[in-house]
Every structure is written in C-alpha cells, then in structure tokens.
Amino acid sequence: MKKFIAAPFGNYIKTNKTISVSGSWTIEKRTGRIIQIAKTLRYTKRGWVNKIGLRNPGLQSGIKNYQNGEVFSIAGIEKDDWRVFSQKLPENFNLEINMSCPNIDKHYIEGIEDFNNESREWFIGKISPNTTFEELEKFIKVFEFKQIHACNTLPIEKGGLSGRELIPYTTKFIKHVKKNYPHIPVIAGGGIYTTKDIEYYRDIGADHVSLGTVCFNPLKLRKLL
C-alpha cells in the first residue's frame, strides 16, 4: 500500500516514504492563492472548508518543477483544456486528472480520452463524492484510468468540505470499484487521521491511501508515515 500526499500539500511535503501529488495545475496561472486561503480556509465542526479554487502559477511553472516519481495533478476549467494538456505534457509524466474541484463553475471532460498513457505508471481519475456509478463507468472504460482516487472534497455552500464526512462516500466507491472493476486500484482519501483509518480503508479493499487535511498537523502526519 502506497501513501500519497494529496495536492496542494504535495507541492511542499516530499518524503521518501510517500508519493507527492503536485498541483492541481491549470493551463493559465490563477493568482491569489494566499488571499483565498486567508479568506476561505476554515475549520468547522464538520471538518475543513475551503474555497481556494485551483489557484496556481500555471502549467509551464508546474512542468519546470516536476520531479520524477511524483504525480502531476491537472484540472481543466475551459472546454479545450484537456486537449491542450494532452499535447503539452510529456508522456512519461504521472498524472492525476482532477475532474472534481467543487470551487469551479463547470467541469469539462471532453478531451480526457486524448491522453496516451502507455508509459505512465499512474494515470489517476480523481472523482467527486457526487459522482454517479454511470459516470464512473465512463471514466474507467472511455478515459481508461489506471487508478481511481475516491474522493475529492464534498461541495457545500461555502466551498469544499474535507474530513470524516467523506468516509461514507469513499467507502461506497471502494466497494463498487472492487466489485465491478477488480483490476482497477483504488486510492482512498477522506477522513484519514489515524492508522486505524488507514486500516479501515485497506480492509474494505483500498489499494492505496491519500493523505490530505491531516497534513495540517505535522505530528499526526508523521505517525501515519
């Protein structure tokens, strides 16, 4: 079982015991990350809430800083973005396709099928808690994802919610994928704060885990590594 450091934490946390996920990167830069973090990142009784909205320096900056072995998370926010990504990204980059950020207005998926993934070890589809099983079938059969990451933050009025409320959603997807697509590895994310959480996901079929908001607490994170 491998442990991933989820984006955006993977931009900063890099260890020899984990796989860092950088990004998520968009074609053009989206400024204002620090301001959005200060304005929207809040801890509530339900968990962490943010409305950062894919703020990042842009694709070219990400490509320059890519390190072998990492996973490069990308997000399409305009209609032709996925086709542009498929043309500009080297075929040896490990990719996570972020189709599920709750803080953008519309999710486009046209063009994801254009990626050539024969030489990629990781070609991950990161799905929303609200993904339907019908949508998931298309993601696996048409886009040919090699792994599924379940799941991104839960869309709520004030942004994206992370934490233990995601566990039922992640559980549902793990069981569904392992039953219907047993050849597809599942990366479980959501509500992981202790080794017992990792053991729970492993016991119901997860192949790997993704560590996200626990990264806010370095002491807790260290215990998981």
CA angle 137, 103, 158 (to 5 degrees): 120
Task: Please identify every stretch of the chain with a pLDDT value under 50, giving residue numbers as ranges.
Answer: none
pLDDT of residue 103: 64
DSSP code of residue 95: E
Rg of the Cα trace of the chain? 16
User: Which domains does the chain possess?
Assistant: 3-224 (3.20.20.70)
Helix (H, G, I), strand (E, B) or coil at 84: helix
pTM (two decimals): 0.94
Report which DSSP code applies to 182. T
Q: Give the strand order in the sheet containing 42-44.
A: 42-44, 47-50, 159-162, 154-156
* Rounded CA separation 26/74 (Å): 6
pLDDT at 102: 75
Residue 60 confidence (pLDDT): 97
- Token pair for 178: 């392992």
CB count in 10 Å sphere of residue 210: 29
